[in-house]
Amino acid sequence: MWRSYLVDLARNLMKKAFAALALAVSFMQALPAVAATITIENASSWDIQEVYFAPFRQRDWGDDHLGKQVLKAGKTLSLNDVEPGVWDVRLVDEDDDECVVEGQQISASQTLVIDDEDLMNCQAASEQ
């Protein structure tokens, strides 16, 4: 008698646990992705005039995220509400040289540091 009672009790507890787990998983899937803050550190000798993001390898650049701002050499700038994912980042410097950093994984707040070597290598690759 006790054995069947314990078996039934265990089954009921398992059903409730699975139902709670299913509810938690469906709730988590309904939550939107948390936007990230990206800090771009311009460690190069050139001012960066424009910054664009595009989904990885899609080249759909959209709007310039700097707007009327300029990211001066040696300065940093934070961009808020960046959707997590894999992005290509396009930078345009004061000489209108373009640099595309491909496959930048953005999953949380992070810093992207760009120095002279990065810009020179990236510009050479972008021109090919």
Q: What is the pLDDT of residues 12-45, one digit of tens each?
A: 545 554 444 444 444 444 445 578 888 889 999 9
pLDDT given for residue 79 in this prediction = 85
CA–centroid distance for 58 within its chain: 15
pLDDT given for residue 42 in this prediction = 93
Q: What are the DSSP calls for 70-113, one per residue?
A: -B-TT-EEEEEEEPSEEEEEEEEETT--EEEEEEEEESSSEEEE
pLDDT band of residue 1 (cuts 50, 70, 90) is low
Query: Quick check: 70 pLDDT over 60?
Result: yes
Q: What is the pLDDT of residues 71-123, one digit of tens each?
A: 999 999 998 888 888 989 999 999 998 888 888 888 877 888 888 888 888 77
Pick the residue with more confidence: 25 or 3?
3
Q: Please say whether the beta carbons of 51 and 42 come within 8 A.
A: no
CA atoms within 13 A on the CB side of 78: 8
pLDDT given for residue 11 in this prediction = 53
Is pTM beyond 0.85 here?
A: no
β-pairing verdict for 76-82 and 98-106: unpaired
Give dist(CA 26, CA 23) in Å, integer.
Answer: 5
pLDDT given for residue 109 in this prediction = 79
